[in-house]
Amino acid sequence: MPELPAGYLAPLPLQRPVGLRRRRLPAGTEMWRIDDSPPNAWTWHGFPAPRYRFDPASGAFRVRYAGGTMIGAFREKYRDSGLFLPADHAGHHFVRLVASRDLRVLDLRNERNLDVLGVDDQISTGHHPAVWTACHQLADAVHAWWDDLDAIVYRPRTTPATSVNIAFFATDPFLTDSSTLAEAGELLAEVVLHHGFTVGWNLTG
């Protein structure tokens, strides 16, 4: 296990650190998510305890996640199942999110931001317990440091050099549309034929 930088072991400050900068993702940016519900049914109540990387330690709000490519969204969702889509996911929704305005984000791919926080790229991809604790605390901290932040941008664990993920706090800045995975036959054929996925239901109907 690599040695952790000091930022993972110290509490985050109450005030935003000097030099920590957010950036903008332009209007029109597309992101993709697989969810068991369509966007109009999403709730934003936090979990009692964090489940995913940037869920807040406090449980005060909900974070949802999206990938910068369609295939990236599938890889992030189904990596732990060996790229297998179980039959009971046929009714899950493949959601396209398009930024309706510039998004205000904290970009954790930016080396300057990592240096200011005293962390490294494990904040995006690492699984050390102290890293996850820092991620959960950071979600709460950014809500205190900025009252209008839309998302945290970070590297995906599956393709960290070529793609991007976001952890977002609301659907307000997005236009959304979705279809069930069962309805997305051409896309599923693509991920099966060219990306190594298997599907637990009959794609030919």
Give pLDDT tens digits for 90-103: 999 999 999 999 99
Burial class, 62, CB count within 10 angstroms (exposed 0-12 / middle 13-18 / buried 19+)? middle
Rounded CA gap, 12 and 137, in Å?
7
Three-state secondary-structure class, residue 67: strand
Amino acid 160: pLDDT: 66
- Name the pTM for this structure: 0.93
Consecutive H or E run containing 98: strand 93-99
Rounded CA gap, 166 and 101, in Å?
16
Rounded CA gap, 4 and 27, in Å?
36
Is the pLDDT score of 2 beyond 70? no
Q: What is the pLDDT confidence band of residue 1, given thresholds at 50, 70 and 90?
A: very low
Convert the pLDDT of each residue in 143-200 to its tens digit. 999 999 999 999 987 776 667 999 999 999 999 999 999 998 889 999 999 999 999 9
Q: What is the pLDDT confidence band of residue 121, given thresholds at 50, 70 and 90?
A: very high
Amino acid 43: pLDDT: 94
Convert the pLDDT of each residue in 34-54 to its tens digit. 999 999 999 999 999 999 999
Rounded CA gap, 141 and 56, in Å?
9
